[in-house]
Chains A and B, each alone.
Chain A
Amino acid sequence: MIKLEQVSKIFYKQKREIQALRNITLHIDKGDIFGIIGYSGSGKSTLVRTINLLERPTSGNIYLSGQNIISFSDRELIPLRRKIGMIFQHFNLLSSRTVFDNIAFPLELTGMAKKEITKKVSNLLHMVDLSEKRDEYPAALSGGQKQRVAIARALASDPEILLCDEATSALDPQTTRAILSLLKRINREMGITIVLITHQMEVIQAICNQVAVISQGQVIEQDEVNELFKSPKSSITRELLNPTWNID
């Protein structure tokens, strides 16, 4: 479904080279909930953005359903991106639009008829259990509600893939649990492949079936979640599994 092959990314900051990703090769199967875990600055945010080419890699190939997208022009990327949903740590809802109009946004972009949009958005509102909030503005919602709006918006264009960029990092544990169970349901009922990046092992444990650990732009370990928890190989993985708060 998603295949990254030798993906590298170099940023230039004031002429200084920063290697964000080093030769990353990953294979994500259809229907997976694939977790990518690492500390801040490990390159995981950049990595997830290469899948829809919000960040263009410096070298390497990216295959989606067997098609190499690396040479796609900006114009060719538009229909492709409409098939890949994405949610973010800070939700990124449009403050000037109501809940309904936020979810309708990606559909408007495709020029869908108003009637059809209304029908589709109503279904999505029902699915994320926010029907009674349809005319509210995002400012009036809680963090969990905002993320549910963002999820509905990401699902509006019937994507095959959902990318989650630290989607629960700004939420409290209880809300995190609710969002994760919603993601799990979406994966099971709609067969959407989910790629999720996080710095929290609990998130991986709760819903992922596959996991890759990334550090300093490299994949240092990749396994099924159960295996990783049973026998972590690297010290960074062990640290992520068992974070200690000893402060001298």
Chain B
Amino acid sequence: MSEATFWLLAKGTWETIAMTFSAGFFSFLLGLPLGILLFLTRERQLLANKPFNSTIAFFVNIFRSIPFIILIVWMIPFTRAVVGTSIGMNAAIVPLSIGAAPFVARLVENCLLEIPFGIIEAARSMGATTMQIVRKVLIPEALPALINSASLTLITLVGYSAMGGAVGAGGLGHIGYQYGYVGYDALIMNVVLILLIAIVFAIQFIGDRLSKYVEHRK
């Protein structure tokens, strides 16, 4: 492998990791509160509100239906308004985050649904405010599941980030496509695959470890 190839792959790896983790961060920034709201406004929950719940659920489902490659293009005006450009890594992070946020919201909602109803009721009986219940009951009790959801989201984003190549964001996926599919360089393609697999395994491994560390139910 030539030095140039080595640096090409190193740069691609860095771009994939940077895109995955920043998009993961922003998708949780949006998806976590959204998921908590979805949970709290459900029937029989603390802020039960059917119209509100249906409205958020409606928009969450719309965003989840748009194929990601189309979302990138469709969002170009918005992306330009947010980061000032529609090409490059920063530009790819915007649609990646927005694309993953509704997915995260649903995952978060599901994590919270796993918490026994009685625990929330007990907190209410002690005079906890809704905010206190979110901070001191819902998030800590669901933390192991939330960490698993984060691993799942990051791994999904590794795959999605390959499409970032469409707007010149680089990344391993793009290298694999250019050199492997277009140029048919088997070596580069296979190394890209191995690197992607390594990233996914690393995320899963660290996620499992962290989740186990905060799990006290067993």
A108 at the interface (CB under 8 A from B): yes
Contact of A139 with B218 in the complex, beta carbons under 8 Å: yes
Within the assembled complex, what's the spacing in Å between the Cα atoms of A153 and B127?
A: 13
The residue from B116, B127, B140 contacting A97, defined by CB atoms under 8 A apart: B140
Q: Which of A122-157 contact B (CB under 8 A)?
A: 137-139, 153, 157
B129 at the interface (CB under 8 A from A): yes
Q: Do A94 and B126 form a contact, CB below 8 Å, given A54-B121, A137-B216, A139-B217?
A: no
Interchain nearest-CB distance for A10 vs B (Å): 15
| Nearest B-chain residue to A87, judged by Cβ | B122
Contact of B124 with A96 in the complex, beta carbons under 8 Å: no
Contact of B143 with A92 in the complex, beta carbons under 8 Å: no
| Chain A residues in 8 Å Cβ range of B218 | 139
Contact of A90 with B124 in the complex, beta carbons under 8 Å: no
Q: Which of the 9-residue segments A36-44, A76-84, A204-212, A238-246 touches chain B?
A: A76-84
Q: Which of B110-161 contact A (CB under 8 A)?
A: 116, 118-119, 121-129, 132, 136-137, 140-141, 143
The residue from B118, B122, B126, B136 contacting A82, defined by CB atoms under 8 A apart: B126
B214 at the interface (CB under 8 A from A): yes
| Chain A residues in 8 Å Cβ range of B141 | 94-96
Contact of B140 with A96 in the complex, beta carbons under 8 Å: yes
| Chain B residues in 8 Å Cβ range of A157 | 126-127
| Nearest A-chain residue to B130, judged by Cβ | A74
A106 at the interface (CB under 8 A from B): yes
Contact of B136 with A90 in the complex, beta carbons under 8 Å: no
Contact of A78 with B116 in the complex, beta carbons under 8 Å: no
| Chain A residues in 8 Å Cβ range of B143 | 96
Contact of B129 with A78 in the complex, beta carbons under 8 Å: yes
Contact of A78 with B127 in the complex, beta carbons under 8 Å: yes
Q: Do A54 and B128 form a contact, CB below 8 Å, given A94-B141, A96-B214?
A: no
Contact of A109 with B132 in the complex, beta carbons under 8 Å: yes
Contact of B126 with A92 in the complex, beta carbons under 8 Å: no
Contact of B116 with A82 in the complex, beta carbons under 8 Å: no
A86 at the interface (CB under 8 A from B): yes
Q: Do A81 and B119 form a contact, CB below 8 Å, given A96-B141, A97-B140, A109-B132?
A: no
Contact of B126 with A96 in the complex, beta carbons under 8 Å: no
| Chain B residues in 8 Å Cβ range of A93 | 119
Contact of A52 with B125 in the complex, beta carbons under 8 Å: yes
Contact of A94 with B127 in the complex, beta carbons under 8 Å: no
A88 at the interface (CB under 8 A from B): yes
Contact of A81 with B122 in the complex, beta carbons under 8 Å: no
Contact of A90 with B116 in the complex, beta carbons under 8 Å: yes
Residue-wise interface mask of B (175-197) relative to A, using a CB-CB cutoff of 8 A (1 in contact, 0 not): 00000000000000000000000
The residue from B116, B118, B124, B126 contacting A105, defined by CB atoms under 8 A apart: B126
Q: Which of A77-121 contact B (CB under 8 A)?
A: 77-82, 84, 86, 88, 90, 92-97, 105-106, 108-110
Contact of A79 with B127 in the complex, beta carbons under 8 Å: yes
Q: List 22 A-B contacts (CB under 8 A).
A: A54-B124, A78-B129, A81-B124, A81-B126, A81-B127, A82-B127, A86-B122, A86-B125, A88-B122, A95-B216, A95-B217, A96-B140, A96-B216, A97-B140, A105-B123, A105-B126, A105-B136, A106-B126, A108-B136, A109-B129, A139-B218, A157-B127
List 8 additional contacts besides A81-B125, A157-B126; criterion CB under 8 Å. Answer: A54-B124, A86-B125, A96-B140, A108-B136, A109-B132, A139-B218, A153-B126, A163-B125
* B residues lining the A interface (CB < 8 Å): 116, 118-119, 121-129, 132, 136-137, 140-141, 143, 214, 216-218
* A residues lining the B interface (CB < 8 Å): 52, 54, 77-82, 84, 86, 88, 90, 92-97, 105-106, 108-110, 137-139, 153, 157, 163
